[in-house]
Structure 1
């Protein structure tokens, strides 16, 4: 049915819609959305991943016979579309139906995209309210408005059309009533938060000059603002040759005058959606904002406030893309209780997704408040009353359990699934048996790495790719289309969450809990880089003997709805063995000791697997061509840089990005470093020139400007800890 005209009365086939702006709505897999259409509205429904059925229910308005269409039946390809134009007013519901996916299944419900082009655009409108709004106010282009907010209430500042800056001021309302102006202080805030801009999570708050918190950032769909410059003022435009130009400072003065706030020549402000950068040359530069239509920042008032928001008047440079537009402000009651998060996009044109909670968050959040936004999920860095060092020793001597649900999972299915994976990764997938797992690299045609990850073979034409990068799914679909392969790549990240149970006692804890079918390996029988399926109590699970710690360990995969029950079962069984929850801080220590690479540190698209220290994942014996194979063959024969281990003298901190020198010559860079508790010294991984990579080579790590201060180091074998990996094979 995809792409065919609708054959019921209220519709006609889609014609040209011109260049009108589309409304874009995402229907999550397993969910539905309601929307209204007017006569002439053009609709495009897209199945971006394929194999996802759609159900469209339509009710003519004010009355008429309802109708329901089933979209994308059968083997619909990725990118399948259904288009129509409404001939009458309609109230619609679009669903992307699907059941919860079992850990050993490959049928995740996935997203549908709904695009609506209105026959009669209503002008620039903000997105729908997040809840019932107490204040719903437009700030016209190049103007400002002031408003009151009660403690606990939420303030949403919306960029209606995109690429529009909005300066924000806030004052303690009680202090203003006593004639005292006590407002946001950017210097205090940066000092206390240790960040240039406050953002959702641990570094979310803005403070006044008395070091008291005034507002906190709850949500941010842009992630690019500044907190260190003035709102634009008359002087700026005078200096630029535009005397008398409208400016935010004068607009603020007028808006705040009724509240008794004294006028200023320049207002220090939080500059939302303002794309400013402090370069390595110490110069402040700017460009067009990152914000898109409907992007917003959501704040929570921590005391009674008088606030002011502007639509920046700047039309003489890129600050507002040379075209000031409206800002919209909404205030919501404290009872709304919005979840915190930042937005993430798989590709520049993809819909934004707020930071989400894993299936284990209910349990981990009861044990710590130390969370960071890691690749779009809230993950703990360490746990209250324990901390990274205690968690580290539990991993090395007993056992730990860690939430790794932020890993991206893709189901690769169809008759050409093996051909696609053979083409996409460096390992020889034809040698992978059902039930096996292999670690591999995925590369560009230049040999630079896209990502590293593991391939699970679930069947003759069934694979699961587990990695860190969302874009891998898009790239695999593009690769399949380019090569004419009949294969589907389905995102299953939100259907498959996982705990890592790691440490020398991991098998003793896990084995008694799991039952497996007779034809599957038990936990005791499971070999390194193999997986099995079964039940942990009543919870369906898949268990792989894999990990990221250098210790004996397992990863346990389940549907997120079962996350809390799985956590409880493991913690209860592990209590006699000293099982401890494990955060990202401890993980970084053990993975560096074990020589395990991390995206953005040991590799990026400018480094190949040899330079990243995983040359073993590029076998010479793989004769079938794959993406990057020609480039990697040349790089293997003519290496320029290599990853090495470093023993570092003393206890001073070194870290990612520190330059490595041989005399005055910089020969490399530190990719990761830590103070190793078990080895009692500072260790590092570094990418250095092959001519300076011999074991025992004396080098120095540069601090300050790289030359004033040097820390002695020497090249050593890595992994630093258990270099023969005997513990993971135990």
Structure 2
């Protein structure tokens, strides 16, 4: 007889279903305080390796409890005390927590060091509390020079409770600022509350995977007997996204087109803002008569404010994981939200709000188990950064959108920023615009903040062997001071990422790419192979500018000093780098690489964040006589498409191999005799290619877009990957992934618009590089 089939999906990161387990993050250069009860265990993990760790354990009277764990305090471990004496919000919160327990944060016992500085990745130590303890764990960090490869990194704490609460209520995260009010909405209920203009509303998912419908009405209009609430159709239209899609808009409007709410932060990114809150009819249609529902709950809590009941409330359903499929049908699955995830909104007028904790327990909408929602109200005097969040892996902590160290300079030139790979970067600049920025780069010189590039230090005796196995290039041929462009592939040949590799020494490399996961993936491969190598994240400690254009060498040679053992800026070869200083031997350290993403002569300038302001100011001052312009992402897109340079998610993905992406030159199948990940698949794919990246020269002046289908006759034979109007060529151009039978130069194809049949735009196949195909300018 067959055993019953059981559902056991893999759900990494869903810690709400492990009630005894809690996890905490210790940021690089930060502290984390945890309280332990007798029998609780604490595991401290060095995620990337080579990260010092200091630990302080105290009993309820503030006395050292290190001896019980066979540790001894040392005056050399002074990072915790120094950090608590600082002015940061984190140190103030930990200090306040200690004071509440009658412990003086300025007179703590000594901490202990848990391991030496050569700890491998994922090295850990585990301790069990015999008594009630307070533990502070620190990840010490200090300044790191741009030409050095020590990089501080975060630690992970796992706390396993000996006596977990029978009711799973994960601890709420710390408030973001000073609270005016907060309350918990029990599962299956709703709550009404007022929010004054300028104040902030934070809606938190307490246990994870729980939906919360949110409605807001204009209070001043209510006083006049007029119900003006959020209107999804107006909101979608004014945001230029009338087609429904999951997620949130930057602003929400009422039906009179007046702004009501601004979204300030979102740690999830997946919500329903186009459907009704659940209503009685939904449950009745499934046979659940009299089931609690959000619409009736909203009507009940809003009725005391003179709001008429509605059978179905249009609402923003935070955390509800719905979508519209290709057949215009609504789909749903369990939410993406984790314990503590939240949305932060700012009221743009006086509002009467109501929030629910959805009672839906008949489908995956709330993970089949409705739980609580928590709401916090903050003062209009608070200032919160605008941010989204991403996770490097499914079980990683969310990282909010950051500002680079150049942000103070770029912000003075524009307010038009976009979230580019979790960093705020300018889209275009006031007083310039995309065309002027483009022309400035093609004709003179341009400067651009490219800090969003990810940087990883790969060091150790097996560094070369790891990279030889993980990259498509022959890393053994790379000399110290040289840079090489390479692909990074999965076993099946699809691309994980592309990037540039710098060799800083015999066993020292720096990988520059766009994908955060690349670092975790490299560590996974090193672990599988048992290699002695460290992969350290360096994105936070290295910020960079691109200086591109025919006058870029003239500009930079005025400000870069190099020692006798380094090449001069003027003689730096293509795909080479140097280590120098700003202006003189006492200036701040710099690295300059002769690389870029524009198809022009150009360089990238790498520096420490604390030096970013003076580096930008010097470039800006020296560039004015040369006609320097700031360069935004909109102009960069035109430049890179003309140069045939590829972009993740457009020209390549994990379904696209390097040959299909147009960078087959980066796969050295003949000269590289060592095995590497994806080699067998790439041999097969190169012998039997199915698609090729080509250029398209469009007829007429109508444009096309990423994702548009490309046809020969009735059959679709390709797809547009990127497109723009080229100022240089005075025509619309596109990059296209097309069937190899249609890839010959001169082939006439058509791009389908409307439904692909009713409107066609003729185009002619060209080489994928429209501008300077022999690279004479970039090599000059």
Same fold per superposition (TM over 0.5): yes
Q: Match for residue 152 of structure 1?
A: 198
Give the Cα–Cα distance (whole angstroms) in 2 for the partners of residues 263 and 251 of structure 1. 10
Deviation at 1:469, TM superposition (A): 0.5
Q: Match for residue 755 of structure 2?
A: 705
Give the Cα–Cα distance (whole angstroms) in 1 for the partners of residues 746 and 519 of structure 2. 42
Q: 1:72 touches 1:80 (CA, 8 Å); kept in 2?
A: no
Q: Match for residue 329 of structure 1?
A: 375
| 2:522 is the alignment partner of 1:522 | no
SS of equivalent to 1:420 = helix
Q: Match for residue 637 of structure 2?
A: 588
Q: Match for residue 208 of structure 1?
A: 254
Describe the superposition over 1:380-426 as per-residue Cα deviations: whole angstroms up to 9, x where unpaired: 11011211111010010011100111111110000010000100101
Give the Cα–Cα distance (whole angstroms) in 1 for the partners of residues 313 and 765 of structure 2. 53
SS of equivalent to 2:707 = coil
Give the Cα–Cα distance (whole angstroms) in 1 for the partners of residues 180 and 159 of structure 2. 29
Deviation at 1:145, TM superposition (A): 0.2
Q: 1:51 touches 1:72 (CA, 8 Å); kept in 2?
A: no
| 2:172 is the alignment partner of 1:126 | yes
Q: 2:245 touches 2:324 (CA, 8 Å); kept in 1?
A: no
SS of equivalent to 1:252 = helix
Q: Match for residue 308 of structure 2?
A: 262
Give the Cα–Cα distance (whole angstroms) in 2 for the partners of residues 585 and 500 of structure 1. 15
Deviation at 1:67, TM superposition (A): 4.8
| 2:657 is the alignment partner of 1:618 | no
Give the Cα–Cα distance (whole angstroms) in 2 for the partners of residues 345 and 670 of structure 1. 29
| 2:327 is the alignment partner of 1:277 | no
Give the Cα–Cα distance (whole angstroms) in 2 for the partners of residues 74 and 505 of structure 1. 44
| 2:503 is the alignment partner of 1:454 | no
Q: Match for residue 716 of structure 2?
A: 666
SS of equivalent to 2:683 = helix
1:38-53 to 2 correspondences below 5 Å: 38-53=37-52
Kindly tell me: are residues 199 and 150 of structure 1, through their superposed partners in 2, closer, same or farther at Cα, counting changes over 3 Å? farther
Give the Cα–Cα distance (whole angstroms) in 2 for the partners of residues 270 and 28 of structure 1. 33
Kindly tell me: are residues 21 and 596 of structure 1, through their superposed partners in 2, closer, same or farther at Cα, counting changes over 3 Å? farther
Give the Cα–Cα distance (whole angstroms) in 2 for the partners of residues 293 and 448 of structure 1. 33
SS of equivalent to 1:336 = coil
Deviation at 1:636, TM superposition (A): 1.4
The range that moved more, 435-444 or 91-100, is: 91-100
| 2:474 is the alignment partner of 1:424 | no
Q: 1:199 touches 1:218 (CA, 8 Å); kept in 2?
A: no
Give the Cα–Cα distance (whole angstroms) in 1 for the partners of residues 373 and 38 of structure 2. 29
Q: 1:59 touches 1:67 (CA, 8 Å); kept in 2?
A: no
Give the Cα–Cα distance (whole angstroms) in 2 for the partners of residues 63 and 227 of structure 1. 50
Kindly tell me: are residues 334 and 118 of structure 1, through their superposed partners in 2, closer, same or farther at Cα, counting changes over 3 Å? farther
Deviation at 1:718, TM superposition (A): 2.9
Q: 1:223 touches 1:342 (CA, 8 Å); kept in 2?
A: yes
Kindly tell me: are residues 298 and 606 of structure 1, through their superposed partners in 2, closer, same or farther at Cα, counting changes over 3 Å? same
Q: Match for residue 141 of structure 1?
A: 187
SS of equivalent to 1:329 = strand
Q: Match for residue 93 of structure 1?
A: 136
Q: 1:27 touches 1:114 (CA, 8 Å); kept in 2?
A: yes
Deviation at 1:198, TM superposition (A): 9.5
| 2:398 is the alignment partner of 1:352 | yes
Deviation at 1:35, TM superposition (A): 2.9
Give the Cα–Cα distance (whole angstroms) in 1 for the partners of residues 466 and 393 of structure 2. 21
Give the Cα–Cα distance (whole angstroms) in 1 for the partners of residues 622 and 402 of structure 2. 28
Deviation at 1:445, TM superposition (A): 1.2
1:47-126 to 2 correspondences below 5 Å: 47-65=46-64, 66-122=109-165, 123-124=168-169, 125-126=171-172
Give the Cα–Cα distance (whole angstroms) in 2 for the partners of residues 311 and 586 of structure 1. 45
Give the Cα–Cα distance (whole angstroms) in 2 for the partners of residues 276 and 685 of structure 1. 32
1:554 to 599, 603, 607: 603
Give the Cα–Cα distance (whole angstroms) in 1 for the partners of residues 744 and 465 of structure 2. 39
Give the Cα–Cα distance (whole angstroms) in 1 for the partners of residues 685 and 294 of structure 2. 55
Q: 2:709 touches 2:752 (CA, 8 Å); kept in 1?
A: yes
Give the Cα–Cα distance (whole angstroms) in 1 for the partners of residues 601 and 516 of structure 2. 28
1:276-675 to 2 correspondences below 5 Å: 276-537=322-583, 538-619=587-668, 620-675=670-725
Describe the superposition over 1:32-60 as per-residue Cα deviations: whole angstroms up to 9, x where unpaired: 22333333322111111111111112222
Deviation at 1:242, TM superposition (A): 0.9
1:237-252 to 2 correspondences below 5 Å: 237-252=283-298
Give the Cα–Cα distance (whole angstroms) in 1 for the partners of residues 709 and 312 of structure 2. 41
1:180-259 to 2 correspondences below 5 Å: 180-195=226-241, 196=244, 203-259=249-305
Q: 2:247 touches 2:270 (CA, 8 Å); kept in 1?
A: no
Deviation at 1:362, TM superposition (A): 1.1
How well do the aligned residues superpose, as a CA RMSD in angstroms?
1.4
2:209 to 163, 175, 195: 163
Q: Match for residue 179 of structure 1?
A: 225
Q: 2:693 touches 2:768 (CA, 8 Å); kept in 1?
A: no
Q: 1:198 touches 1:204 (CA, 8 Å); kept in 2?
A: no
Deviation at 1:229, TM superposition (A): 0.8
Q: 1:163 touches 1:289 (CA, 8 Å); kept in 2?
A: yes
Q: 1:287 touches 1:318 (CA, 8 Å); kept in 2?
A: yes
Give the Cα–Cα distance (whole angstroms) in 2 for the partners of residues 407 and 268 of structure 1. 40
Describe the superposition over 1:198-250 as per-residue Cα deviations: whole angstroms up to 9, x where unpaired: 978xx511111111111111000100011111111111111221111101111
| 2:74 is the alignment partner of 1:25 | no
SS of equivalent to 2:540 = helix
Kindly tell me: are residues 198 and 707 of structure 1, through their superposed partners in 2, closer, same or farther at Cα, counting changes over 3 Å? closer
SS of equivalent to 1:309 = strand
Q: 1:48 touches 1:78 (CA, 8 Å); kept in 2?
A: yes
Q: 2:28 touches 2:155 (CA, 8 Å); kept in 1?
A: yes
Deviation at 1:19, TM superposition (A): 4.8
SS of equivalent to 2:646 = coil
| 2:761 is the alignment partner of 1:715 | no
Q: Match for residue 84 of structure 2?
A: none
Kindly tell me: are residues 452 and 34 of structure 1, through their superposed partners in 2, closer, same or farther at Cα, counting changes over 3 Å? same
Give the Cα–Cα distance (whole angstroms) in 2 for the partners of residues 21 and 380 of structure 1. 44
Q: 1:50 touches 1:488 (CA, 8 Å); kept in 2?
A: yes
The range that moved more, 711-720 or 585-594, is: 711-720
Describe the superposition over 1:135-176 as per-residue Cα deviations: whole angstroms up to 9, x where unpaired: 110000000001111111111000101111000011111222
Number of equivalent positions: 711
Give the Cα–Cα distance (whole angstroms) in 2 for the partners of residues 256 and 157 of structure 1. 18
Give the Cα–Cα distance (whole angstroms) in 2 for the partners of residues 573 and 580 of structure 1. 12
1:680 to 730, 733, 736: 730
The range that moved more, 561-570 or 595-604, is: 561-570
SS of equivalent to 2:755 = coil
| 2:775 is the alignment partner of 1:728 | no
SS of equivalent to 2:613 = helix
Deviation at 1:99, TM superposition (A): 1.6
List alignment gaps of at least 5 residues for structure 1: 1-17
